[in-house]
């Protein structure tokens, strides 16, 4: 495979403030606005490159200082084996560390948000013959809303 040296600089951390990305701890429960599930298709780590994060910074609500780059001691590049899954919130300052290997790193990112919000404005219309759908399937076509929402 072709060697890739590009990286995705550290970003997010909810600065500037974005109401879709939030982290709250209340009454012993964690509430977040967007959860990311990253499924590694290749090995990554400090000697290979890949996902990099600043642990705990999502709780600070301050911008990441400009002096902090991917090489800073507070930036963690976790060792993740191919086939493993990493779950983090979009509010966490994260990026991609420089690839130090001879192959492209691949991950699949799945992003989940609460039912009242969406990152897209284009919604699929319910099929014309909606009577063939189950109650749960019909609910999956509903647009985002908060009040009196039925659980799936």
Look at residues 13, 38, 10, 14 and name the one whose alpha carbon lies nearest to residue 96: 10
pLDDT exceeds 50 at position 1: no
Assigned token pair, 46: 């400090």
Give the position of tokens 């749960």. Answer: 136
Assigned token pair, 77: 């590049």
The percentage of residues in the chain with a pLDDT greater than 90, rounded to a whole number, is: 18
In the DSSP assignment, the letter for residue 68 is: -
pLDDT of residue 2: 47
What's the predicted TM-score (pTM) here? 0.70
Is the sign of the CA dihedral 16, 17, 20, 24 positive or negative? positive
pLDDT in tens, 90-147: 888 888 888 877 777 788 988 887 766 766 667 778 888 888 999 888 888 887 776 6
Higher pLDDT, 53 or 65: 53
Compute the chain's Rg from CA coordinates.
19
Assigned token pair, 146: 């908060």
Average pLDDT of 39-63?
84
Would you say 12 and 93 are in contact if contact means Cβ atoms under 8 Å apart?
Answer: yes
Assigned token pair, 24: 């709250």
pLDDT exceeds 90 at position 73: no
Which domains can be identified in the chain, with CATH numbers? 8-114 (2.60.120.620), 121-152 (no CATH)
List the beta bridge partners of residue 36: 88, 111
Average pLDDT of 54-63?
75
Measured over all CA atoms, what is the biggest interatomic distance in the chain, rounded to whole angstroms? 58
Strands (E), the chain: 8-11, 23-26, 29-32, 35-40, 50-53, 85-89, 94-97, 107-112
Would you say 65 and 57 are in contact if contact means Cβ atoms under 8 Å apart?
Answer: no
């Amino acid at each position: 495979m072709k060697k890739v040296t590009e990286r995705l600089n550290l970003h997010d951390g909810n600065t500037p403030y974005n109401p879709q990305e939030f982290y709250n701890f209340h009454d012993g429960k964690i509430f977040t606005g967007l959860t990311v599930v990253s499924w590694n298709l290749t090995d990554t780590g400090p000697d290979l490159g890949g996902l990099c994060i600043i642990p705990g910074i999502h709780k600070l609500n301050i911008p990441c200082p400009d002096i902090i780059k991917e090489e800073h001691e507070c930036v963690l590049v976790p060792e993740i084996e191919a086939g493993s899954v990493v779950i983090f919130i979009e509010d966490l300052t994260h990026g991609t560390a420089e690839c130090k290997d001879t192959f492209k790193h691949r991950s699949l990112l799945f992003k989940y948000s609460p039912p009242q919000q969406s990152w897209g404005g284009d919604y699929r219309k319910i099929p014309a013959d909606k009577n063939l759908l189950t109650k749960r399937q019909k609910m999956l076509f509903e647009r985002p809303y908060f009040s009196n929402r039925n659980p799936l």
